[in-house]
C-alpha cells in the first residue's frame, strides 16, 4: 500500500513537472502598438492582440481553461506575465508583485512577506541564475530554494 | 419497432404541443399584461435604445437575439425568449444556461415554476471559480505621453473576496475593446471612427491588464468600487455570459468601451438612466463622473504607472546619486557606486532598474543583460530600502467638466465685444488639470461668437475642430517631443491649420513651471490665398495654488511677403472650483486684443 502511494506520488510529481516544463506559453509581454501619431484618434480603442474572449466556451491552454487560470498553474501564469517586474522586486526585496507571489506561496502577514523578500534577495542568483532564465525555470528554482527554508516554511503556512 | 415508435410519436406530438402552447401562451399573456417587454429591465437586457423617430434598436449583432427581428422588436424577442426558455422540451430548456440573466429575471417576474427550470452546473462551476462578489471600475488616465489619451479608458475588475490585499492582482479584468486585428495607420483611425470594427468583451487576469496599462502605456490607473450587491454582480456576470458570441460595431467616439461599460452597469441598475447622459460622444472620464454623481463609486485607489514610479525614485536621489545613476545606465558597471553608502547604492540601483524597465517598454528592447547585472548587485546589498511612497495626485473626479461655456467681455483693437464660446470637449490649458496631463490642451469642437456692441453685429469668431498641445519635459534621461496641432476656421469660416514640434523643460519655479520651445508652421486662409508662416514659438507656463498662467511669443516669417512679425499672447486664470476666471490678451502687428471671461 505504502509502495503504491509512493508510486502515485512519484507519478503525480513527474506529471506536475512535465506540465511545468511546458509553461503557459504566454510569450513576451512586450508587444507592438499602433503608431503614436494616431493616438489622438485612437484614444478610446485600446485594442490588443493578446485578448481572449470572455466566457465559458473559451478554449483550454496549458494554464487556463475556459478563460480562467487553473488553480495549480496560478504561480506559473503569474510569473510568466510579470517576470520583468518580479525579477526587479526580488532584487530589491519588496514590491506589489512580489507580495502577491509571497501570498500565493502562503505568506500572509507582513513579517512573513518581509522574510520572503529577504529570502529572494539572498537566493537571487540561485532563483535567477542568468539573464536568460525562463519563467518556468524561475518557478522551479524558486520552489527548490523555498523548500530549503525552514524558517519561511513556518511563517508561510501552506507552502 | 422503429416505425411503431414513430407512429406513437406522431399521435402524441400534437396533444403535447397543444398543452405546451397553452402554458407558454399564458406566460406570454402574463408578460403582455405586465408590460414586461417595455420594462426598463428588459430593455436594458437587450441593450435597446430609443430610435430618434420612435421604436427601438439594439447595436448588438451576432447570436444574441432569438427572434429574427429581435434587435428592433423587444416584444417579439420576449415572446421568442419565453418560447425557447420555458418550453416543455428539456433540450430547448437547456438554453436557459445560454441566457442566464434573462432566465433569472423572467423567472421572478413571470413566477416560472421550478419544474420548468434547468440546472446549469457547468456555468455554476465556472462562476464559483470566478467567485465574483464585487465589481470595480478602472479608469486608465493618461500620464504624460499624449494629451489625446487624456480621454482615457475604462474597464472592470471582477473581485473575488478570496483575493485579499495584494492577491487582488489575481482578480479578473473585463474589458470592452475593438477587435482591430493588425490594421494600422489612417485606415485604423477611419475604420474606428465610422464603426467598421466589431467591439466585444474579453477577460484577462487583472495583473495582465496592469501590464498593458501601467507598464506598457505608462498610464496610471484609478480604481473605484461600484455600489452593487453580490446578487447584482452575479446578474452582470450572467449577462456577460449571455453576450458571449455577440458584438456591436465599435465607434471610437460614441459606442466605445465606456458606453458599453455603463450600459452593462445599467443592466444591474435599470432604474438609473446612466446612458441618457451620453448621446453622440462618450468620454470615459465623464462616465466615471456620472457614476459618481449617482453615488455609485467609493474607495478610490490609484495604481501609479511605471513611469511615475521612476520619476519619484529619480526625484528622491541627491545630486551625487543622480550623477552616479547617469554613469550607471551608460556603463552598466555597478562597481562605480562603491564610494556611496550601501543604502545610497541600493537607491541608485533601484532607480536604475526602474529606468531600464521604462526604457525597455519604450524602446521595445528587453535589455535583459543590463537589468540582470543591476539586479544581482542590488540583491547582494540585502534589505536596505523601504517601498517608495508616491505623491498622491488629485482625483480625476475633481477635474472640470469636459463641456464648457465661456462668457466674457473684451476689446479687439479698441472695438468692444461680448464673448460667447461653447466647447464640446475636453480640457483647457488654463483650467485645473487634476487627473490629466499637466500643461496640456485638448479642445475638440468649439465655437466662439463675438457681439460687437458699437457696430452692432454678431460674428462667428472662431470654430475649432481640434486644438491640442502636448508638452512632456526633457530630463537627463529622456528627450520626448512636445507638439501641437490646431485645425479650425478663423475669422468666420476661413480655415487654418497650424503645426508645431519641439521640446519642453521643467523649471523649479512656483508650484510647477514649464518652458516649451517649438518650431511652428502657421497656415491661414487655406481656401483663399493661403498665408503661410514659418518660425519659432516660446511658451512659458506656470502654476501657483489655483492660479495658472501662460505666455507665448511667436517669431514668424511671412513666406509670401518675405517679412517677419512677432506675436505675443498671454493668459492668467484663477480656478477656485470648477469655475474659472481668466484674463487673456494678444498683440500682433501692433493690434492689441484682450478679454476677461468666466468659464464653467
> What does DSSP say about strands B134-140 and B153-159: parallel, antiparallel, or unpaired?
antiparallel
What residues contact A114, with CB distance under 8 A and at least 6 apart? A94, B383
What residues contact B438, with CB distance under 8 A and at least 6 apart? B144, B512, B514, B543
Separation between Cα atoms, residue B160 and residue B394, nearest integer Å: 28
| Averaged pLDDT for residues B278-305 | 89
Q: What is the DSSP letter of A53?
A: B
Give me the pLDDT at residue B477, please: 82
What residues contact B482, with CB distance under 8 A and at least 6 apart? B469, B470, B471, B472, B501, B502, B503, B504, B516, B518
Give me the pLDDT at residue B182, please: 63
Separation between Cα atoms, residue B10 and residue A148, nearest integer Å: 73
Q: What is the mean pLDDT of chain B?
A: 87
Residue B15 pLDDT class (50, 70, 90 cuts) = very low
**DSSP reduced 3-state for B299:** strand
- Whether B371 sits inside 8 A of A52 (CB atoms) is no
Q: Which of B79-83, B195-199, B287-291 has the lowest mean pLDDT?
A: B195-199
Separation between Cα atoms, residue B433 and residue B441, nearest integer Å: 10
pLDDT of A55 above 70 = no
Q: Is some CB atom of chain A closer than 8 A to the CB atom of B269? A: no
Which residues of B, range 378-397, sit inside 8 Å of A by Cβ? 378-380, 382-383, 385-387
Torsion of CA B556, B560, B563, B566, to 10 degrees: -30
**B54 torsion bin: left (phi>0), alpha (psi -120 to 50), beta (else):** left
Q: If residue B95 lies in a helix (H) or strand (E), which one and from where to where?
A: none
Give the CA angle between residues A118, A119, A122 to the nearest 5°.
85
Q: CA end-to-end span of chain B, whole Å?
A: 83
pLDDT of B137 above 90 = yes
- Residue carrying C-alpha cell 520651445: B517
pLDDT of B294 above 50 = yes
Give the CA angle between residues B88, B94, B96 to the nearest 5°.
100
Domain ranges within chain A, ordered by starting residue: 71-159
- CB-nearest to B126 from A56, A118, A128 is A56
- Whether A28 sits inside 8 A of B197 (CB atoms) is no
Q: What is the DSSP letter of B119?
A: P
pLDDT of B569 above 90 = yes
Give me the pLDDT at residue A28, please: 46
A142 vs B contacts (CB less than 8 Å): none
Domains in chain B, CATH or no CATH each: 2-119 (no CATH), 130-303 (no CATH), 306-380 (no CATH), 403-599 (2.40.160.40)
- CB-nearest to B192 from A28, A29, A45 is A45
Question: Which residue of B lies nearest to A96 if distances are taken between CA atoms?
Answer: B166
Least Cα separation, residue A7 to chain B (angstroms): 31
Separation between Cα atoms, residue B594 and residue B577, nearest integer Å: 24
Please, is B53 exposed, middle or buried when counting C-beta atoms within 10 Å of its C-beta (0-12, 13-18, 19+)? exposed
A35 vs B contacts (CB less than 8 Å): 184-185
Question: Which residue of A lies nearest to B306 if distances are taken between CA atoms?
Answer: A85
Q: Which of B475-479, B514-518, B549-553, B583-587 has the lowest mean pLDDT?
A: B475-479
The model's pLDDT over A122-153, given as tens digits with 9 standing for 90+, comes to: 999 999 999 999 999 999 999 999 999 888 88
Give me the pLDDT at residue B492, please: 86
**DSSP reduced 3-state for A55:** coil
**DSSP reduced 3-state for B305:** coil
Contact at 8 Å (CB) between B421 and B448? yes
Q: CA end-to-end span of chain A, whole Å?
A: 27
Residue A56 pLDDT class (50, 70, 90 cuts) = low
| Cβ contacts of B588-596, under 8 Å, gap ≥ 24 | B589/B565, B591/B412, B591/B413, B592/B413, B592/B414, B593/B410, B593/B411, B593/B412, B593/B413, B594/B410, B594/B411, B595/B408, B595/B409, B595/B410, B595/B411, B595/B417, B595/B419, B596/B408, B596/B409, B596/B410
Separation between Cα atoms, residue B413 and residue B421, nearest integer Å: 20
Other beta carbons less than 10 A from residue B494's beta carbon: 14
- Residue carrying C-alpha cell 430618434: B52
Beta bridge partners of A80: none
Separation between Cα atoms, residue B349 and residue B356, nearest integer Å: 10
Give me the pLDDT at residue B124, please: 92
A40 vs B contacts (CB less than 8 Å): 146-148, 466, 468
Residue of A27, A36, A46 to mutate, testing the B interface (most B Cβ within 10 Å of its Cβ)? A46
| Averaged pLDDT for residues B122-135 | 93
Q: What nine digits make up the cell of A2?
A: 505504502
Separation between Cα atoms, residue B21 and residue B558, nearest integer Å: 82
Contact at 8 Å (CB) between B166 and A100? yes
- Whether B383 sits inside 8 A of A34 (CB atoms) is no
Higher pLDDT, B89 or A76: A76
Least Cα separation, residue A141 to chain B (angstroms): 16
Beta bridge partners of B469: B441, B484
Give me the pLDDT at residue B366, please: 82
Separation between Cα atoms, residue B139 and residue B133, nearest integer Å: 20
Q: Is some CB atom of chain A closer than 8 A to the CB atom of B129? A: yes
- CB-nearest to A103 from B126, B166, B179 is B166
Question: Which residue of A lies nearest to B442 if distances are taken between CA atoms?
Answer: A40
- CB-nearest to A99 from B166, B346, B379 is B166
Least Cα separation, residue A4 to chain B (angstroms): 32
pLDDT of B241 above 80 = yes
pLDDT of A113 above 70 = yes
A138 vs B contacts (CB less than 8 Å): none
Q: If residue B227 lies in a helix (H) or strand (E), which one and from where to where?
A: none
Separation between Cα atoms, residue B272 and residue A78, nearest integer Å: 38
A86 vs B contacts (CB less than 8 Å): none
What residues contact B203, with CB distance under 8 A and at least 6 apart? A52, A53, A54, A55, A67, B158, B172, B173, B174, B175
**DSSP reduced 3-state for B344:** helix
Q: Is some CB atom of chain A closer than 8 A to the CB atom of B122? A: yes
- Whether B204 sits inside 8 A of A52 (CB atoms) is yes
Beta bridge partners of B159: B134
Give me the pLDDT at residue A135, please: 92
- Whether B207 sits inside 8 A of A44 (CB atoms) is no
A106 vs B contacts (CB less than 8 Å): none
Beta bridge partners of B520: B500, B535
A99 vs B contacts (CB less than 8 Å): 165-166
Higher pLDDT, B381 or B476: B381
pLDDT of B535 above 80 = yes
Q: Is some CB atom of chain A closer than 8 A to the CB atom of B194? A: no
Q: Is some CB atom of chain A closer than 8 A to the CB atom of B286? A: no
Higher pLDDT, B582 or B527: B582
The model's pLDDT over A4-49, given as tens digits with 9 standing for 90+, comes to: 444 443 333 333 333 334 677 775 444 444 444 344 444 434 444 4
What residues contact B442, with CB distance under 8 A and at least 6 apart? B147, B148, B150, B425, B426, B427, B467, B468, B469
Separation between Cα atoms, residue A148 and residue A122, nearest integer Å: 13
Q: What is the DSSP letter of B169?
A: G
- CB-nearest to A92 from B166, B203, B385 is B385
Residue of A91, A108, A145 to mutate, testing the B interface (most B Cβ within 10 Å of its Cβ)? A91
- Whether B188 sits inside 8 A of A54 (CB atoms) is no
Give me the pLDDT at residue B36, please: 93
Separation between Cα atoms, residue A18 and residue A76, nearest integer Å: 13
Amino acid at each position: 500500500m505504502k509502495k503504491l502511494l509512493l508510486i502515485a506520488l512519484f507519478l503525480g510529481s513527474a506529471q506536475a513537472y512535465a506540465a511545468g516544463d511546458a509553461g503557459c506559453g504566454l510569450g513576451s509581454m512586450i508587444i507592438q502598438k499602433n503608431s503614436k501619431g494616431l493616438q489622438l484618434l485612437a484614444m478610446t480603442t485600446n485594442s490588443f492582440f493578446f485578448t481572449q474572449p470572455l466566457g465559458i466556451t473559451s478554449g483550454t491552454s496549458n494554464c487556463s481553461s475556459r478563460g480562467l487560470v487553473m488553480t495549480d498553474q496560478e504561480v506559473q501564469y503569474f510569473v510568466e506575465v510579470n517576470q520583468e517586474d518580479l525579477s526587479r522586486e526580488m532584487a530589491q526585496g519588496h514590491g506589489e508583485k512580489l507580495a502577491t507571489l509571497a501570498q500565493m506561496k502562503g505568506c500572509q502577514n507582513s513579517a512573513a512577506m518581509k522574510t520572503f523578500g529577504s529570502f529572494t534577495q539572498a537566493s537571487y542568483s540561485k532563483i535567477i541564475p542568468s539573464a536568460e532564465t525562463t519563467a518556468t525555470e524561475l518557478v522551479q528554482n524558486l520552489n527548490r530554494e523555498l523548500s530549503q527554508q525552514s524558517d519561511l516554511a513556518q511563517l508561510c503556512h501552506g507552502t | 419497432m422503429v416505425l411503431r415508435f414513430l407512429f406513437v410519436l406522431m399521435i402524441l406530438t400534437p396533444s403535447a404541443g397543444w398543452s405546451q402552447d397553452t402554458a407558454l401562451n399564458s406566460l406570454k399573456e402574463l408578460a403582455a399584461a405586465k408590460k414586461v417587454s417595455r420594462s426598463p429591465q428588459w430593455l436594458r437586457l437587450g441593450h435597446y435604445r430609443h430610435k430618434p423617430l420612435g421604436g427601438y434598436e439594439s447595436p448588438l449583432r451576432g447570436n444574441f437575439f432569438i427572434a429574427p427581428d429581435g434587435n428592433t422588436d423587444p416584444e417579439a424577442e420576449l415572446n421568442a425568449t419565453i418560447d425557447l426558455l420555458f418550453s416543455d422540451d428539456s433540450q430547448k430548456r437547456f438554453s436557459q444556461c445560454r441566457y442566464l440573466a434573462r432566465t433569472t429575471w423572467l423567472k421572478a417576474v413571470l413566477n416560472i415554476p421550478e419544474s420548468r427550470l434547468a440546472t446549469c452546473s457547468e456555468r455554476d462551476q465556472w462562476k464559483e471559480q470566478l467567485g465574483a462578489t464585487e465589481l470595480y471600475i478602472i479608469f486608465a488616465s493618461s500620464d504624460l505621453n499624449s494629451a489625446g489619451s487624456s480621454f482615457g479608458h475604462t474597464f472592470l475588475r471582477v473581485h473575488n473576496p478570496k483575493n485579499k490585499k495584494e492577491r487582488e492582482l489575481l482578480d479578473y479584468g473585463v474589458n470592452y475593446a475593438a477587435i482591430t486585428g493588425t490594421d494600422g495607420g489612417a485606415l485604423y483611425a477611419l475604420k474606428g471612427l465610422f464603426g467598421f470594427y466589431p467591439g466585444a468583451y474579453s477577460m484577462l487576469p487583472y495583473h495582465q491588464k496592469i501590464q498593458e496599462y501601467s507598464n506598457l502605456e505608462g498610464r496610471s490607473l484609478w480604481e473605484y468600487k461600484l455600489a452593487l450587491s453580490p446578487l447584482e454582480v452575479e446578474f452582470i456576470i450572467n449577462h456577460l455570459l449571455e453576450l458571449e458570441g455577440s458584438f456591436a460595431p465599435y465607434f471610437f467616439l460614441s459606442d466605445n468601451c465606456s458606453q458599453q461599460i455603463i450600459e452593462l452597469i445599467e443592466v444591474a441598475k435599470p432604474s438609473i438612466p446612466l446612458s441618457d447622459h451620453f448621446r453622440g460622444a462618450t468620454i470615459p472620464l465623464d462616465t466615471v463622473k456620472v457614476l459618481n454623481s449617482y453615488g455609485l463609486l467609493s474607495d478610490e485607489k490609484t495604481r501609479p504607472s511605471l513611469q511615475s514610479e521612476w520619476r519619484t525614485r529619480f526625484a528622491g536621489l541627491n545630486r551625487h546619486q543622480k550623477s552616479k545613476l547617469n554613469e550607471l545606465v551608460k556603463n552598466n558597471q555597478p562597481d562605480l557606486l562603491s564610494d556611496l553608502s550601501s543604502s545610497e547604492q541600493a537607491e541608485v540601483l533601484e532607480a536604475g532598474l526602474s529606468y531600464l524597465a521604462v526604457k525597455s517598454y519604450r524602446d521595445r528592447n528587453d535589455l535583459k543583460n543590463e537589468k540582470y547585472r543591476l539586479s544581482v548587485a542590488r540583491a547582494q546589498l540585502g534589505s536596505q530600502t523601504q517601498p517608495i511612497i508616491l505623491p498622491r495626485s488629485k482625483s480625476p473626479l475633481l477635474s472640470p467638466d469636459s463641456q464648457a461655456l465661456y462668457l466674457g467681455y473684451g476689446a479687439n483693437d479698441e472695438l468692444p465685444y461680448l464673448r460667447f464660446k461653447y466647447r464640446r470637449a475636453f480640457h483647457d490649458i488654463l483650467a485645473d488639470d487634476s487627473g490629466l496631463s499637466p500643461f496640456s490642451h485638448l479642445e475638440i469642437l468649439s465655437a466662439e461668437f463675438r457681439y460687437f456692441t458699437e457696430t452692432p453685429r454678431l460674428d462667428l469668431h472662431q470654430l475649432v475642430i481640434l486644438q491640442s498641445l502636448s508638452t512632456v519635459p526633457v530630463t537627463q534621461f529622456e528627450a520626448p517631443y512636445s507638439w501641437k496641432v490646431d485645425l479650425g476656421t478663423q475669422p468666420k469660416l476661413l480655415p487654418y491649420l497650424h503645426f508645431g514640434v519641439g521640446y519642453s523643460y521643467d523649471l523649479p519655479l512656483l508650484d510647477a513651471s514649464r518652458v516649451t520651445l517649438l518650431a511652428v508652421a502657421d497656415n491661414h486662409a487655406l481656401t483663399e490665398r493661403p498665408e503661410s508662416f514659418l518660425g519659432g514659438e516660446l511658451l512659458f507656463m506656470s502654476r501657483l495654488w489655483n492660479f495658472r498662467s501662460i505666455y507665448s511669443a511667436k517669431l514668424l516669417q511671412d513666406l509670401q511677403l518675405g517679412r517677419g512679425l512677432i506675436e505675443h499672447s498671454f493668459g492668467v486664470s484663477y480656478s477656485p472650483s470648477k469655475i474659472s476666471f481668466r484674463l487673456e490678451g494678444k498683440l500682433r502687428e501692433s493690434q492689441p486684443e484682450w478679454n476677461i471671461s468666466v468659464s464653467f
